[in-house]
Structure 1
Amino acid sequence: MGHRLPKKESHLELIELDTEFLEGMGSYCLRSKKKSTGYINKNKWLNAQFEEGLKYIQLLEHKKQVGFIEYTESQHSSRVVHADNYLVIHCLWVSETGKGYGSKLLHRCLEDAKKESKYGVVVVTNSHTSWTPSKDIFLKNGFTLVDTAPYNFELLVYQFAKDAPLPVFPTNWDERLKKFTVLTILRSFQCPYVEVATENIKIGAQKLGLDVKMIDFKDRTELMELSPTPYGIFSVVFKGELISFHRLTIHSVMKRIKELL
């Protein structure tokens, strides 16, 4: 059952979603388009992941949603990182910075990690896209940078035990890219915007007379093996080159593909 969590401020409320609460409140991203394929897929994905222990917590102020955080155990995460016995944050978003919303959500995650005797919490960031959380809030709350990967990806960690093994990214990114010569989209449904991003690639490719190969990750094993970036949600590869790991306009899709033709 979903439940309302204890709160210090009377006007702030943390709500942990479960299947019942999700049906009533819905997930946060793309909620303005509840009939869209992306939104529907996200909620289906959440319901499946609740069974695996994923936490999806919304922050309300005066009953209005002002932020949320999503995190899960590393073995169920959609981030491509080796982080045994850590919790992995997928998303952290707030409607307004400077009001302590992000820190409040983050502290809830750290509390859960400690209760579950985890080594700590990790998050993947990238300053070149809004599709990952901003690293500033994590650095402010005691996280440290421990690894990097191509295309400006960074791995931050908050450790409870300093002698615990550090999480790391894989190192074979070039080998992964070389596996894909035809235009290929690799994705999972953790993010509702994946569907729109996919459509833009398909339309751009169609205008150029190219077919698109789709790989929807079946499980974490496949994701860890194939994803060409640490952000295992969405990647587009053509002729062994990464075209994007986030949404592009149709114009940008065509421009990028033409550069490789």
Structure 2
Amino acid sequence: MNMNIITLDNENIEKEHICCLMSQKDSGYVDQKKSWLKDRMNEGLTFKKMDVRGKVFIEYIPLKNAWYPIDGDEYMFIDCLWVSGKYKGEGNSSILLDECIKDTKSRGLKGLAILSSDKKKGYMADKKFLTYKGFIKCDEAEPYFELMYLPFEENVEPPKFRDSVKTPKTGNNGFTLYYTAQCPFTLKYSPLIEEEAKKNNIPLKSVKIDNLEKAKDAKSPYTSYSVFYKDEFITHEILTVKAFNDLAGKYVNKK
């Protein structure tokens, strides 16, 4: 199936579908995501999607401006490469990645970087696909995060995680939830978790990462959403209220 590629900009972003499957009643969270995208576009972010209403897109930004605790000014960072549903198995991931590679080279950068994991995890790129496309693991952080990179030339220093994710310290004795506006679902579910914790006296500190400096000093490689208990990383998967209560039952005693 041949599909056109659309590049979002300040002119078309309001009318274009941004590959999120939120219902119409939750459109306000999508609007917040679009606002976040527009701000990042001023910092070099690019969002390319196939001309369909589905999750077939790539989002990337120069690593120096990426909201991740990763160093490597000579690289482009891929926030998200997502192809799902009936659009898988048609080469669309390679098409979108090739678009990113071409754009990155035209900007004079030396390679790409992206988050992955040894075993497939939600919201992160498939390591098998990345390895097939030539990506190499260059760093890792507990419990399962791997930093992959694709250099365009030899003898380029690879990107690396910042020390803040190697030995994370939250400074909190209960749960700590970190999130950004990069995903509409974090904007929806994070306040629900906050309300549930308050209602049931579950110790929770919620931290919205709202600028580049905070993101670069983040405790987890996955800044869009990460949950800790004390200094232990728990998950980067977005929690429902039920899932949060299950965690609370495991880690703390409700008052």
TM-score by length of 1: 0.86
Q: Secondary structure at the match of 1:28?
A: coil
Return 5+ residue gaps in structure 1 as ranges: 1-8
Q: Secondary structure at the match of 1:138?
A: helix
Residue of structure 1 equivalent to 2:81: 92
Structure 1 counterpart of 2:135, from 139, 143, 153: 143
Query: Could you list the per-position Cα deviations for residues 53-102 of structure 1 after superposition, in whole angstroms to 9, with x for gaps in the alignment?
Result: 10000113xx6656110000012112221121100001111133220000
Q: Distance in 2 between matches of 1:111 and 1:13?
A: 17
Q: Secondary structure at the match of 1:12?
A: coil
Query: Could you list the per-position Cα deviations for residues 95-126 of structure 1 after superposition, in whole angstroms to 9, with x for gaps in the alignment?
Result: 33220000000001011111111110000013
Cα distance, 1:196 vs structure 2: 3.1
Q: Distance in 1 between matches of 2:63 and 2:166?
A: 23
Query: Do the aligned residues in 1 keep the contact of 2:140 with 2:161 (CA within 8 Å)?
Result: yes
Residue of structure 2 equivalent to 1:173: 165
Output the aligned Cα RMSD.
2.2
Runs of 4+ in 1 over 4 A off after TM superposition: 63-66
Q: Distance in 2 between matches of 1:134 and 1:188?
A: 23
Residue of structure 2 equivalent to 1:104: 95
Query: Do the aligned residues in 2 keep the contact of 1:185 with 1:235 (CA within 8 Å)?
Result: yes
Question: Identity of aligned pairs, percent?
Answer: 26
Residue of structure 2 equivalent to 1:260: 251
After the TM superposition, which residues 1-261 of structure 1 pair with which residues of structure 2 at under 5 Å, given as runs? Answer: 11-33=2-24, 35-60=26-51, 67-95=56-84, 96-126=87-117, 127-173=119-165, 175-210=167-202, 212-225=204-217, 227-261=218-252
User: Which amino acid in structure 2 is aligned with residue 197 of structure 1?
Assistant: Y
User: Which amino acid in structure 2 is aligned with residue 186 of structure 1?
Assistant: Y
User: Which amino acid in structure 2 is aligned with residue 240 of structure 1?
Assistant: D
Q: Secondary structure at the match of 1:90?
A: strand
Aligned residues: 249
Cα distance, 1:128 vs structure 2: 5.0
Q: Distance in 2 between matches of 1:200 and 1:184?
A: 14
The 1:174/1:181 distance shift into structure 2, 3 A limit, reads: farther
Q: Secondary structure at the match of 2:237?
A: coil
TM-score by length of 2: 0.88
User: Which amino acid in structure 1 is aligned with residue 180 of structure 2?
Assistant: S
Q: Distance in 2 between matches of 1:105 and 1:128?
A: 20
